Structure 1
Amino acid sequence: MLVWINGTFGVGKTQTAYELHRRLPGSVVCDPEYVGLGLHKMTPRALRSDFQRHPAWRQGVFEVLDLVLGKHKGVVVAPMTLVEPAYYDEILGRLREAGHDVRHFALVADRETVLARLRQRSLSLRREAFAVDRLDDCLERLRTPAFAEHVETDRLTVPQVAERVAAGAGLSLAPSTGGPLRRRLRRIGVTIRHIRL
């Protein structure tokens, strides 16, 4: 099974993905952003743009996920903002056509909640300019029926969001362990591992 966790930048996709991974034995996180980062590293700076616009990114993500889903026995979790319906069909639609069990969840929250999370993530919204510039468009698109199933995250903790996603996918999670300090340290660890310089 593929669990694609969609949502605007800063809503908690990566944190939720790693919470699912931690509580689903045998699962793996396959982050489509790494395909895009590879494309950026291979192209001159003047040619770099939103990597999702490159057919090579969409084809690469499809091929990697098709490979992993075909060979890996556990759940595959992919956290990635994807708001263009044609790109959704090109990746997730093709994976379904290839016979894979694809579950899609869009994490949504109020604009103020997402801005607060972005501030918490980087201490400055200037460093999050790309995310802030696209925020309203992403929130509007993700709330449409095309991107259901929606998970409202405003008043939920990361473990609670993961539990909602797992329940929607029919998955049983191991119990959430550790107190508030341990959960906070885990979230900080995930954030540090995903800092893009």
Structure 2
Amino acid sequence: MLLWINGPFGGGKTQTAYEIQRRLRGSVVCDPEHPGFGLRRMLPPELRGDFRELASWREGVVEVLDLALTRREGVVIVPMTVTDSGCFAETVGRLRELGHDVRHFTLLAERETVLRRLRERSLGDLLRGLGRKNAPLRNESWAVQQLDHCLERLREEEFAEHLWTDRSTVPKTADRIAVLAGLTLRPNNEGALRTRLRQVRIGIRHVRFD
């Protein structure tokens, strides 16, 4: 089985994916951003755009996920924002055509909730806390520029199942996905402080500078 976790940038996809992986034995997170940013870096700066528009990315993601699903046991978890119908068909749809059991979930939240989450993970806010008062805010980033488009597109029926997360913690969102997918997660016995520290580590590992 493949769990594709969709949602706006800053919507909690990656944190939720790693929460499921932590509590689901044999599962693995496969992040399509890794090849995407690699392909983007291959291009001259003036040609760098949205890597999801590259056919090589879409085809490569399907090839790699097909390999992971075919050659190993366990659930594959994919945190990736996809808002374009064509891209969705060429990734999620293509994997289903290949015979894989793909469960798709979209994490949604109100605009202010997502903005708050983006500020919390903001490198600029972190640097402010260290005394660099002129550090840039994430609300000037590409993620925020795409936010309204993402929220509008992802509310459409083709991107169901929709899960609203404004009043849900990451562990609770993971629990909801597991129930809907027919999976059983290990109990979440982690304390609030340890959970927060682990989530900070995950966030730092996924900071993008380009």
The answer to whether the 8 A contact 2:118-2:139 is kept is no
Alpha-carbon distance in structure 1 between the residues aligned to 2:117 and 2:137: 10
Instruction: Name structure 1 gaps, 5 residues minimum.
Output: none
Alpha-carbon distance in structure 2 between the residues aligned to 1:186 and 1:128: 26
The answer to whether the 8 A contact 1:118-1:125 is kept is no
Name which of 171, 174, 177 aligns with 2:183.
171
Matched, 1:157 2:169: yes
What's the counterpart of residue 10 of structure 1?
A: 10
Alpha-carbon distance in structure 2 between the residues aligned to 1:126 and 1:19: 24
Name which of 193, 197, 201 aligns with 1:181.
193
Structure 1 counterpart of 2:159, which letter? F
Alpha-carbon distance in structure 2 between the residues aligned to 1:190 and 1:176: 17
What's the counterpart of residue 131 of structure 2?
A: none
Alpha-carbon distance in structure 2 between the residues aligned to 1:38 and 1:148: 29
Matched, 1:54 2:54: yes
What is the CA RMSD across the aligned residues, in angstroms? 1.1
The answer to whether the 8 A contact 1:2-1:69 is kept is yes
Alpha-carbon distance in structure 1 between the residues aligned to 2:75 and 2:7: 20
User: What do residues 46-80 of structure 1 show as CA deviations (whole Å, max 9, x unaligned)?
Assistant: 22110001111101111111110111200000001
What's the counterpart of residue 129 of structure 2?
A: none
Alpha-carbon distance in structure 1 between the residues aligned to 2:12 and 2:139: 17
Instruction: Kindly report structure 1 stretches of 4+ aligned residues shifted beyond 4 Å.
Output: none
Secondary structure of 2:104's counterpart equals: strand
TM alignment of 1:1-197, pairs within 5 A: 1-122=1-122, 123=125, 125-126=137-138, 129-197=141-209
Report the TM-score, using the length of structure 2 for normalisation: 0.91
Alpha-carbon distance in structure 1 between the residues aligned to 2:185 and 2:167: 20
Secondary structure of 1:99's counterpart equals: coil
Structure 2 counterpart of 1:27, which letter? S
The answer to whether the 8 A contact 1:108-1:151 is kept is yes
The answer to whether the 8 A contact 1:27-1:74 is kept is yes
Structure 1 counterpart of 2:9, which letter? F
Q: CA deviation at 1:126?
A: 3.9
Alpha-carbon distance in structure 2 between the residues aligned to 1:98 and 1:85: 18
Alpha-carbon distance in structure 2 between the residues aligned to 1:60 and 1:68: 12
Taking every aligned residue pair, what percent have the same amino acid on both sides?
A: 60
Structure with bigger gyration radius:
2
The answer to whether the 8 A contact 1:3-1:77 is kept is yes
Q: CA deviation at 1:35?
A: 1.2
The answer to whether the 8 A contact 1:118-1:128 is kept is no
Q: CA deviation at 1:127?
A: 6.2
The answer to whether the 8 A contact 2:36-2:51 is kept is yes
Alpha-carbon distance in structure 1 between the residues aligned to 2:140 and 2:109: 17
Deviates more, 1:124-133 or 1:98-107: 124-133
Report the TM-score, using the length of structure 1 for normalisation: 0.97
Q: CA deviation at 1:177?
A: 2.1
Secondary structure of 2:146's counterpart equals: helix
